[in-house]
């Protein structure tokens, strides 16, 4: 009997230990299953609490997405020489159709006497247009022919004007042409310049060098700084002789080139009669440079530049889905001047009174084989359409203000839920889609706006998703200090600025496998 009692006691103790162990494992599993959101404090939220479904909850709201195409009526995007200008053509993007990018710009002599003798004592060797290539987008192995023409004198082309991307100029005649294989632009070439009668040999790379017609070079040599053939006494006189260059891609092509205007240069190689030794011909190089306002040396006038970019979405999926009231499962975003998407989140207007720790609009690309050739924009942006005055504005209650000789908006890294400067200069993440393809994900942190909607029932606006090269927007929350002042996007450190380059197909609000959604982490009041 005593042995039986002893065995029962041992069994009871073991059973109690197993029960305790089971409770411990269950509790451990519950703790592990609670998701802790370790977002950096740069979000302005601090460490977001654990989601325990008792005090703090994690949910998603459905979104509705509608494709749109920027047209002449709603496209106010302009080009700026401070960013790379785009040159080339894309004829065969299977999803986004065609792109035609043309470049217009001026150069100026550095003095009123750019050559080392009078016109009658000059002989041309060659004249070369030199442009720095900053990047290549598209099919880098497909040959492309670049035509360089003269801008017709009838065009109004000024250095103090930022022109719309839809601005197209007429031309007066072909000056030169070159066919290139884009990826070879990175190869080094040997260049000889003649300075002070001495040959200076250097190796350069990432340059587009196009020899122009000798007749054009002889025109430049024939101009004087006074008299009947005056071409160099003032900027306006020079512009009456030569309005500028027009560059475009001819024939079939599938590549866009980034061109830096800051280093654009016309090089004139010539021989001149030495002024101290009659009949003795020396060799020299004269440079006509693109001049921005801060570097003007001759006339006080900066040079004009303009980028014409045209999209043709004929026969594409975008054309078939854009501009209607039917929610789209796929969203198409093409960089400026391109496409956009209207994003609606109706459930946010009725969200209960809560402390919102995170409200993040999440989206990801839907893979296509062409994505390896035509990659996504480096940055995308989200703003709102204020229905009270029908203007696009920054998302309300998200951006802060700083003051240093003027107001500027802050919180860009927090808005993207990633520090752009620490993520390769872009605002996306990489992840795997359900099929294992590497795709990109964007997250926009609209926590401040969602909180205001939940607690104060401020108006809920429709969002606009797009990839602008640059845009000026007022604050969405009508700051009493700044009023309707517009703030430039991008700000320093955020890589917008490049038009035309980048396009992406995203999962929309009703996509089957890769839905766009608003994730909310909140605590009930």
DSSP string, 179-211: EE-GGGGGS-EEEEEEETTEEEEEEE-SEEEEE
Q: Tokens 């090269």 — which residue?
A: 469
Check residues 237 and 190 and name the one with the higher pLDDT: 237
**Of the given ranges (193-207, 365-379, 465-479), which has the lowest mean pLDDT?**
193-207
Mean local confidence (pLDDT), 7-20: 42
pLDDT at 490: 67
For the stretch 203-235, pLDDT in tens is 889 999 999 999 999 999 999 999 899 999 988
Please, which pLDDT band fits residue 422 given cuts at 50, 70 and 90? very low
pLDDT of residue 77: 79
User: Is the pLDDT at 314 greater than 50, yes or no?
Assistant: yes
Percent of the chain with pLDDT over 90: 61
The lowest-confidence range among 189-193, 369-373, 417-421, 434-438 is: 417-421
CB atoms within 10 A of CB 331: 28
Contact between residue 371 and residue 433 where contact means Cβ atoms under 8 Å apart: no
Query: Is 236 within 8 Å of 174 (Cβ atoms)?
Result: no
In angstroms, rounded to a whole number, what is the distance separating the alpha carbons of residues 524 and 443? Answer: 24
356/106 Cα distance (integer angstroms): 53
Name the pLDDT band for 25 (thresholds 50, 70, 90): very low
Q: Which DSSP symbol is given to 375? A: P
Q: How far, in Å, CA of 144 to CA of 147, rounded?
A: 10
Give pLDDT, residue 17: 43
Average pLDDT over residues 164-182: 95
Cα dihedral value 198, 201, 204, 207, nearest 10: 50
Beta-strand pair 108-109/281-289: antiparallel
Separation of alpha carbons 177 and 395, rounded Å: 47
Q: Which of 430, 418, 401, 383 is nearest to 493 (CA)?
A: 418
Determine the pLDDT at residue 293: 60
Distance CA 131, CA 81 (A): 13
Three-class secondary structure assignment of 336-358: CCCEEEEEECHHHCCCCCEEEEE
Q: How confident is the model at residue 78 (pLDDT cuts 50, 70, 90)?
A: confident
Taking the whole predicted model, whether its pTM rises above 0.95 is answered as no
Question: Which pLDDT score, from 0 to 100, does residue 65 have?
Answer: 98
- Which pLDDT tens digit goes with each residue over 366-414? 999 999 999 998 888 999 999 988 999 999 999 988 888 888 888 887 8
Closest CA to 134 of 85, 81, 200: 85
Least confident of 23-32, 216-225, 299-308: 23-32
pLDDT band at 37 (very low <50, low <70, confident <90, very high): very low
Q: What is the pLDDT of residue 297?
A: 53
Is residue 18 pLDDT above 90, yes or no?
no
The whole-angstrom separation of Cα 165 and Cα 103 is 10
Q: Assess whether pLDDT exceeds 70 at residue 481.
A: yes
Please, which pLDDT band fits residue 52 given cuts at 50, 70 and 90?
A: confident
pLDDT at 38: 45
Confidence of residue 31 (pLDDT cuts 50, 70, 90): very low
Is 80 exceeded by the pLDDT of residue 176? yes
pLDDT at 497: 64
259-276: pLDDT as tens digits: 999 889 999 999 999 988
Rg of the chain over Cα atoms, rounded to whole angstroms, equals 31
Q: Which of 175, 214, 211, 212 is nearest to 191 (CA)?
A: 211
**Confidence grade of residue 79 (pLDDT, cut at 50, 70, 90):** confident
pLDDT of residue 418: 60
What rounded mean pLDDT belongs to the chain?
Answer: 85
Q: Residue 493 region, left (φ>0) first, then alpha (ψ -120 to 50), else beta?
A: left
Q: What is the pLDDT of residues 90-104, one digit of tens each?
A: 999 999 999 999 999
């Amino acid at each position: 009997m005593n042995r039986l009692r002893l065995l029962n006691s041992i069994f009871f103790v073991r059973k109690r230990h197993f029960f305790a162990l089971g409770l411990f494992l269950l509790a451990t599993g519950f703790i592990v299953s609670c998701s802790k959101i370790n977002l950096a404090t740069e979000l302005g939220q601090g460490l977001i609490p654990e989601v325990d479904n008792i005090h703090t909850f994690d949910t998603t709201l459905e979104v509705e997405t509608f494709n749109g195409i920027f047209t002449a009526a709603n496209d106010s995007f302009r080009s700026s020489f401070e960013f790379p200008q785009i040159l080339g053509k894309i004829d065969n993007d299977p999803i986004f159709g065609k792109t035609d990018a043309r470049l217009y710009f001026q150069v100026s002599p550095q003095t009123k006497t750019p050559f080392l003798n009078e016109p009658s004592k000059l002989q041309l060797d060659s004249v070369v247009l030199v442009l720095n290539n900053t990047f290549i987008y598209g099919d880098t192995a497909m040959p492309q022919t670049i035509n360089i023409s003269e801008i017709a004198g009838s065009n109004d082309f000024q250095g103090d004007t930022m022109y719309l991307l839809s601005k197209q100029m007429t031309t007066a005649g072909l000056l030169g042409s070159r066919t290139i294989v884009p990826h070879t632009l990175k190869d080094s070439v040997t260049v000889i310049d003649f300075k002070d009668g001495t040959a200076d040999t250097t190796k350069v790379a990432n340059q587009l060098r196009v020899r122009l017609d000798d007749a054009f070079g002889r025109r430049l040599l024939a101009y004087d700084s006074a008299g009947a053939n005056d071409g160099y006494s003032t900027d306006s006189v020079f512009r009456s002789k030569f309005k500028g260059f027009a560059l475009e891609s001819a024939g079939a092509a599938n590549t866009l080139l980034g061109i830096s205007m800051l280093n654009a240069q016309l090089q004139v190689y010539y021989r001149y009669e030495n002024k101290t030794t009659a009949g003795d011909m020396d060799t020299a190089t004269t440079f006509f440079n693109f001049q921005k306002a801060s570097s003007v040396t001759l006339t006080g006038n900066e040079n004009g530049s303009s980028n014409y970019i045209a999209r043709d979405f004929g026969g594409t999926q975008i054309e078939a889905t854009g501009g209607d009231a039917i929610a789209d499962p796929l969203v198409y975003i093409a960089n400026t001047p391109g496409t956009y998407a209207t994003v609606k989140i109706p459930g946010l207007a009725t969200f209960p009174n809560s402390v919102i720790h995170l409200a993040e609009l999440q989206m990801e690309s839907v893979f296509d084989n062409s994505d390896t050739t035509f990659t996504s924009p480096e940055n995308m942006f989200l703003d709102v359409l204020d229905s009270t005055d029908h203007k696009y504005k920054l998302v309300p209650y998200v951006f802060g203000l700083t003051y240093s000789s003027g107001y500027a908006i802050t919180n860009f890294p927090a808005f993207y839920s990633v520090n752009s400067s620490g993520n390769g200069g872009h605002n996306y993440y990489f992840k795997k889609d359900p099929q294992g393809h590497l795709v990109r994900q964007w997250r926009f942190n609209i926590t401040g706006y969602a909180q205001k909607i939940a607690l104060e029932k401020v108006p809920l606006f429709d969002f606009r998703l797009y990839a602008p090269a640059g845009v000026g927007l007022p604050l969405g929350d009508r700051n009493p200090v700044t009023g309707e002042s517009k703030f430039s996007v991008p700000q320093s450190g955020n890589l917008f600025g490049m038009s035309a380059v980048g396009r992406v197909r995203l999962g929309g609000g009703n996509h089957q496998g890769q839905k766009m959604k608003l994730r909310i982490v909140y605590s009930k009041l």
